[in-house]
Structure 1
Amino acid sequence: MKAKRAPLTRSEVMSRVKGRDTRPEMRLRRALHAAGLRYRLQARELPGRPDIVFRRARLAIFVHGCFWHRHPGCEHARMPKSRLEFWTEKLDGNVERDARQLALLKEAGWTVMTLWECESRDPAAIDAFVEAVRARVVDARGATVAP
């Protein structure tokens, strides 16, 4: 008989949260690739290190987790009940940093799009997002990418 494992502590759970190649990001990447769109990942030289980048179109895409980036009006963005002071400071700081990075990207002439984690669960929302990306991505000759 297997011994029961003790439940993970909050610290252990949070340490397992990934910063890249998350499920929502992979869903979007698969859909973009299936639509014939090619992109770059994790542009380190850009503010905020966007998850997906279309350099010619100067389009940066962030795939945000609803909890970590405080998706307005989303049920997944609720505040934890314990250590409220810590989490308020932490999550508000994330939102402020996101706003600064968005402003820097826009100043540099980039278009920024955000896909929220909760939106990525709906295939229709992913399809609509991909179509919006397709409308913005332009090849070097100025022609819109063919379907």
Structure 2
Amino acid sequence: KTVVFIDGCFWHGHEGCKYYRLPNTNVDFWRHKIAMNIARDYANGVDLRLAGWKVIRVWECDIKTKAKREEILERLYHEIVGDEHKSSTYVSTPNGASIAAEPNTSYGDKKI
């Protein structure tokens, strides 16, 4: 029961981030729009936690580079799965993307 949000720095108002800058035009509209997004994010987080979910937020800027992305994936893995599921691993696909995967398991005569 874990939910992970990957929040865009602009759309979710990541203060102090170089990717969060209000446009020069229609500033009041954008300020209001982003403030409402932040309020909705907060309310959704509260509702999910009250329903028993663990909520993790990751900022867009934290996954921009491969090194930071791999660091975040590793942190998420340990935060979500912990050490109780040591059989789970990260594997790389031919294009270099990391994915979470279980080792091959046999069920009867089928290898999954």
TM-score when scaled to structure 2? Answer: 0.69
Which runs of structure 2 are paired with 1:76-95 in the superposition (5 Å)? Answer: 76-95=19-38
The residue type equivalent to 2:42 in the other structure is A
Which runs of structure 2 are paired with 1:69-80 in the superposition (5 Å)? Answer: 69-80=12-23
Distance 1:65 1:126 in 2: 14
Residue matched to 2:3: 60
Which runs of structure 2 are paired with 1:86-125 in the superposition (5 Å)? Answer: 86-125=29-68
Deviation at 1:145, TM superposition (A): 3.9
Deviation sequence 1:118-144 (CA, Å, 0-9, x none): 1111222211211122113349xx922
Highest Rg: 1 or 2?
Answer: 2
TM-score when scaled to structure 1? Answer: 0.54
Deviation at 1:98, TM superposition (A): 0.4
8 Å CA contact retained: 1:63, 1:115: yes
Are 1:144 and 2:91 counterparts? no
Deviation at 1:113, TM superposition (A): 1.3
SS at match of 1:71: coil
Deviation at 1:89, TM superposition (A): 0.9
8 Å CA contact retained: 1:135, 1:144: no
The residue type equivalent to 1:100 in the other structure is A
Identity %: 32
8 Å CA contact retained: 2:62, 2:72: no
Q: How many residues align?
A: 88
Unaligned runs of 5+ in 2: 90-112
**Larger helix share, 1 or 2:** 1
SS at match of 2:63: helix
Runs of 4+ in 1 over 4 A off after TM superposition: none
Alignment RMSD, CA only? 1.9
8 Å CA contact retained: 1:79, 1:88: yes
Distance 2:13 2:86 in 1: 33
SS at match of 1:96: helix
